[in-house]
């Protein structure tokens, strides 16, 4: 029996190299958990039928000496990344039965190394949400407390890893969709600098914010996966050439900023605030000084996000008109009737809400979008300025503990608030990491988020590893 509960990529790799077990046996161990728990948790929408074929290919790499640290590692993949020949739906009815015609570049980078993808995971429809409750394929339960949400939108991926149904997983971020699910399930979630990882083959939500990201049990695992995902891709003009991925030179200060209003605990659960304050001890043990700092513009981040994101999203979702591909309504009387029924029936409530919001924001020659873009630049400047005197800034990852299934579904604004601490990193392109800090007395996970300047991703891995050693 393989003890998969304590595996890391490195320990699994060592065992595979020493032939303690085969890739097929390792995959079997995860498939057994999925078989036992997925009907209840609904982390996976589909378990791939070629897992054993993938395992065989990976095993051959060990035999011929081309294996890397990721060869044979069983991962879950969010249902918004394309693998040629496999179904991909973004958890929407409008893409039900859609089969990918090519493979996402970042995913291909992993496939080349012999990663085994076990199956595709549930998510909020088109990655809109913080709880997987907007999926057209049912809610995903949190394996730590099945009455609660696993976070979102990459909640199927976080649940898959938390239930030991995968060693780690791929998810995506537009605003917090890796970090908040990581926080809800006691995992590590890493959002890289924008431009690190190709978005080609990631079903677009909002292009100027989207990134493919790892979700894992340890910081080292997140680092290994991220480094394999990252590449400069001619198919995504926003990926930055590898030699230009250089942070602005600056002296190390051993200081970490905390926004003053966050320090006070405004708008967050008491347990979240307590755990956040307690995490300062760890940073202090690591030699850092915690400094309160005023960020006058940061509180506008979420509002800016809710103009920028829907504008880009509404534009992206225009292509789903029922004619080119995806679901199409039948028995319609006119072209208008066809469009309206196809999109009305194919998209869920949240998608329709955001399409309307986005179209509105783009009215009058993009008046609102332009205004939001200006504020986005000002927020980025504010963060850049702060990073002249501190190494990082920290906040809780999310303002609340994982909430109950059903909660916030009738209050979209309360749901949107889940990303209040996520938005600045996505708007500014900065990297950020969510790290588990422990459990509340009732057994719910807490999490701290560390944000660094653009292209200082490695510094986040370094501090993250030190933090998890002590916490
Ligand atoms: N909670 C965010 C939203 O609803 C999630 C976006 C994301 O990161 N995919 O927009």
**For residue range 109-120, what is the model confidence (pLDDT) as tens digits?**
999 999 999 999
Pocket test of ligand 1: the residue of 80, 122, 153 to mutate, having most ligand atoms within 8 Å of its CB, is 153
Residue nearest to atom 4 of ligand 1 (CA): 129
Spacing, Cα 175 to ligand 1 middle (Å): 5
First to last CA, the chain: 30
Pocket test of ligand 1: the residue of 128, 155, 305 to mutate, having most ligand atoms within 8 Å of its CB, is 128
**Pocket residues: Cβ below 6 A from ligand 1:** 127-130, 153, 173-177, 205, 309, 418-419
153 is catalytic: yes
Catalytic residue among 131, 153, 157, 200: 153
Phi/psi at 175 (nearest 5 deg)?
-160, 85
Residue that is written with structure tokens 């990581």 in the block = 182
pLDDT in tens, 17-71: 999 999 999 999 999 999 999 999 999 999 999 999 999 999 999 999 999 999 9
Is residue 233 scored above 90 in pLDDT? yes
Catalytic residue among 158, 177, 198, 279: 177
Spacing, Cα 50 to ligand 1 middle (Å): 31
CB 471 within 8 A of CB 435: yes
What confidence score (pLDDT) does residue 325 get?
Answer: 85
Spacing, Cα 234 to ligand 1 middle (Å): 26
* DSSP state, residue 400: S
pLDDT in tens, 385-440: 999 999 999 999 999 999 999 999 889 999 999 999 999 999 999 999 999 999 99
What confidence score (pLDDT) does residue 260 get?
Answer: 96
Pocket test of ligand 1: the residue of 91, 131, 152 to mutate, having most ligand atoms within 8 Å of its CB, is 152
Q: What is the pTM (predicted TM-score) of this model? A: 0.98
d(C-alpha 58, C-alpha 64), whole Å: 10
Domain 4-244: which CATH number of 3.40.50.10860, 3.40.50.10800, 3.90.1300.10, 3.40.50.720: 3.90.1300.10
157 is catalytic: no
78 is catalytic: yes
- Sequence-ordered list of residues with C-beta below 8 angstroms from that of 363, at least 6 positions apart, any chain: none
Among the atoms of ligand 1, which is closest to the Cα of residue 178? 8
What confidence score (pLDDT) does residue 339 get?
Answer: 94
Give me the mean pLDDT over the 327-349 stretch: 95
pLDDT in tens, 143-200: 999 999 999 999 999 999 999 999 999 999 999 999 999 999 999 999 999 999 999 9
d(C-alpha 358, C-alpha 372), whole Å: 12
Among the atoms of ligand 1, which is closest to the Cα of residue 180? 1
d(C-alpha 191, C-alpha 225), whole Å: 12
Spacing, Cα 177 to ligand 1 middle (Å): 5
Sheet containing 74-78: order of strands: 44-47, 116-121, 74-78, 168-173, 211-216, 188-191, 432-439, 445-451, 392-396, 255-259, 289-293
Spacing, Cα 215 to ligand 1 middle (Å): 16
Annotated domain spans of the chain: 4-244, 304-365
Among the atoms of ligand 1, which is closest to the Cα of residue 418? 1
Phi/psi at 124 (nearest 5 deg)?
-70, 145
What confidence score (pLDDT) does residue 85 get?
Answer: 98
pLDDT in tens, 266-317: 899 999 999 999 999 999 999 999 999 999 999 999 999 999 999 999 999 9
d(C-alpha 120, C-alpha 88), whole Å: 8
In 371-417, the DSSP E strands lie at 392-396
Among the atoms of ligand 1, which is closest to the Cα of residue 306? 10
What confidence score (pLDDT) does residue 1 get?
Answer: 83
Spacing, Cα 127 to ligand 1 middle (Å): 6
Among the atoms of ligand 1, which is closest to the Cα of residue 174? 8
């Amino acid at each position: 029996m393989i003890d998969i509960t304590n595996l890391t990529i490195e320990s699994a790799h060592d065992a595979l190299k020493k032939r303690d077990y085969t890739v097929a046996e390792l995959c079997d161990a995860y498939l057994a958990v999925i078989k036992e728990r997925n009907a209840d948790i609904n982390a996976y929408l589909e378990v791939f039928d070629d897992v054993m074929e993938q395992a065989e290919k990976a095993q051959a790499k060990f035999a011929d000496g081309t294996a890397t640290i990721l060869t044979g590692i069983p991962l879950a993949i969010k249902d918004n990344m394309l693998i040629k020949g496999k179904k991909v739906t973004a958890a929407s009815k409008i893409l039900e039965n859609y089969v990918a015609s090519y493979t996402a570049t970042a995913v291909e980078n992993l496939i080349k190394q012999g990663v085994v993808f076990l199956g595709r995971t549930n998510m909020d429809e088109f990655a809109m949400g913080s709880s997987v409750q907007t999926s057209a394929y049912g809610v995903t339960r949190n394996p730590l407390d099945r009455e609660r949400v696993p976070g979102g939108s990459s909640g199927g991926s976080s649940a898959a890893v938390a239930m030991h149904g995968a060693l780690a997983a791929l998810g995506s971020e537009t605003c917090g969709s890796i970090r908040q699910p990581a926080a809800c399930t006691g995992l590590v979630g890493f959002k890289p600098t924008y431009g690190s990882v190709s978005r080609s083959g990631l079903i677009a939500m909002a292009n100027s914010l989207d990134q493919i990201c790892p979700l894992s049990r340890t910081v080292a695992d997140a680092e290994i996966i991220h480094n394999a995902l990252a590449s400069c891709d001619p198919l995504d003009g926003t990926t930055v050439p590898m030699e230009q991925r250089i942070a602005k030179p600056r002296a190390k200060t051993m200081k970490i900023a905390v926004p003053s209003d966050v320090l006070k605990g405004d708008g967050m659960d008491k347990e979240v605030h307590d755990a956040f304050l307690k995490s300062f001890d760890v940073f202090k043990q690591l030699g850092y000084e915690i400094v309160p700092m005023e960020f006058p513009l940061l509180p506008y981040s979420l509002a800016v996000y809710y103009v920028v994101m829907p504008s880009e999203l509404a534009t992206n979702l225009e292509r789903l008109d029922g004619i080119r591909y995806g679901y199409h309504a039948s028995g319609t009387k006119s072209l208008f009737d066809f469009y309206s029924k196809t999109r009305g029936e194919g998209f869920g409530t949240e998608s329709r809400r955001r399409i309307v919001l986005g179209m509105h924001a783009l009215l009058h020659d993009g008046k609102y979008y332009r205004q939001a873009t200006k504020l986005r630049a000002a927020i980025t400047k504010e963060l850049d300025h702060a990073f002249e005197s501190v190494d990082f800034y920290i906040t809780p990852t999310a303002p609340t503990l994982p909430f109950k299934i059903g909660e916030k579904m009738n209050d979209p604004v309360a749901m949107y608030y889940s990303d209040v601490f996520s938005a600045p990193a996505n708007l500014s392109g900065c990297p950020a990491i969510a790290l588990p800090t422990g459990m509340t007395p009732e057994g719910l996970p807490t999490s701290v988020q560390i944000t660094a300047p653009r292209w200082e991703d490695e510094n986040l891995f370094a501090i993250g590893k030190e933090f998890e050693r002590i916490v």
